[in-house]
């Protein structure tokens, strides 16, 4: 069917992600994904890419002090990182997108209302003969993890999935689409 081309974790919500060779998929998503949020140091209000697009250019290093200094310099105001008990995801535990969807978008075939600029997916797939948009309602096995595809995003490429069975995934893992008749 296809394979995992890359895995990205976004340690700080709204910041650029970093590629990892493998990840643990937990019930709430990839371990370490969106575990922190940027907040205004004075008000404590969240600072997100929706209101502050400059956040996209910052890559979290994992060093909270260094990241805070970099963010304050880029944004021109004092901010801090706030840890959260669960990932700060807007829509789903895991976001999957294929290279083929990105290629279709680059050629102008983008679903209405969708931006192809920054898919911010956790798992980039190589699906030579597939289209992840057809997987809604189906179960996908990648590595040791099983994901139930729940819907297509409103404003970006790919599909959203919930974690049915936690487990490890890695770049190069084969993607297995379970048959429709498998109970879930």
Tens of pLDDT, residue by residue over 30-62, are: 998 888 889 999 999 999 888 898 888 888 887
Tokens 């575990």 -> residue: 35
- Domain presence at residue 138: yes
Q: What pLDDT was estimated at residue 136?
A: 96
Instruction: Assess whether 105 and 76 both reside in one domain.
Output: no
Instruction: Assess whether 151 and 127 both reside in one domain.
Output: yes
Q: Over the chain, what is the mean pLDDT?
A: 87
- Domain presence at residue 184: no
> Is pLDDT at 137 greater than 70 in this prediction?
yes
Q: What pLDDT was estimated at residue 76?
A: 93
> Is pLDDT at 83 greater than 80 in this prediction?
yes
Contact yes or no for 148/138 (Cβ under 8 A): yes
Helix (H) or strand (E) holding 38: strand 36-40
> Is pLDDT at 87 greater than 60 in this prediction?
no
Q: What is the pTM of this model?
A: 0.85
- Domain presence at residue 183: no
The DSSP-derived string for 96-147 is EEEHHHHHHHHTT---TT---S----SEEEE-TT--GGGGTT-EEEETTEEE
Q: How confident is the model at residue 118 (pLDDT cuts 50, 70, 90)?
A: low
Q: Of 22, 48, 83, which one is at a domain's C-terminal end? A: 83
Q: Of 62, 83, 104, which one is at a domain's C-terminal end? A: 83
Q: Of 83, 116, 149, which one is at a domain's C-terminal end? A: 83
> Is pLDDT at 86 greater than 70 in this prediction?
no
Task: Tell me the residue range of the domain where 40 lies.
Answer: 36-83
Q: What is the rounded CA–CA span in Å between residue 126 and residue 87?
A: 26
Instruction: Assess whether 52 and 13 both reside in one domain.
Output: no
Question: Structural domain tally of the chain?
Answer: 2
User: Among 14-23, 115-124, 142-151, which stretch is predicted with the lowest mean pLDDT?
Assistant: 115-124
Which domain CATH number covers 152? 2.40.33.20
Mean pLDDT, range 22-32, rounded to an integer: 93
Tokens 């003969």 -> residue: 129
Instruction: Assess whether 114 and 44 both reside in one domain.
Output: no
Instruction: Assess whether 155 and 120 both reside in one domain.
Output: yes
Instruction: Assess whether 52 and 20 both reside in one domain.
Output: no
Q: What pLDDT was estimated at residue 122?
A: 92
Instruction: Assess whether 46 and 126 both reside in one domain.
Output: no
- Domain presence at residue 182: no
């Amino acid at each position: 069917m296809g394979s995992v081309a890359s895995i990205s974790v976004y340690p700080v919500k709204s910041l650029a992600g970093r590629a990892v060779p493998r990840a643990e998929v937990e019930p709430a998503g990839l371990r370490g994904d969106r575990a922190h949020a940027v907040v205004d140091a004075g008000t404590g209000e969240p600072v997100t890419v929706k209101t502050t697009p400059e956040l996209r250019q910052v890559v979290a290093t994992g060093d909270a002090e260094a990241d805070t200094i970099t963010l304050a310099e880029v944004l021109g105001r004092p901010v801090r990182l706030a840890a959260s008990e669960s990932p700060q995801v807007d829509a789903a535990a895991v976001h999957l997108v294929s290279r083929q969807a990105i290629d279709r978008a680059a050629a102008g075939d983008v679903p209405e209302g969708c931006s192809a600029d920054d898919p911010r997916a956790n798992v980039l797939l190589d699906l030579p003969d597939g289209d992840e948009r057809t997987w809604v309602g189906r179960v996908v096995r990648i590595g040791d993890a099983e994901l139930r595809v729940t819907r297509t995003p409103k404003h970006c490429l790919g599909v959203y999935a919930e974690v049915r069975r936690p487990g490890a995934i890695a770049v190069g893992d084969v993607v297995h689409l379970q048959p429709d008749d498998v109970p879930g």
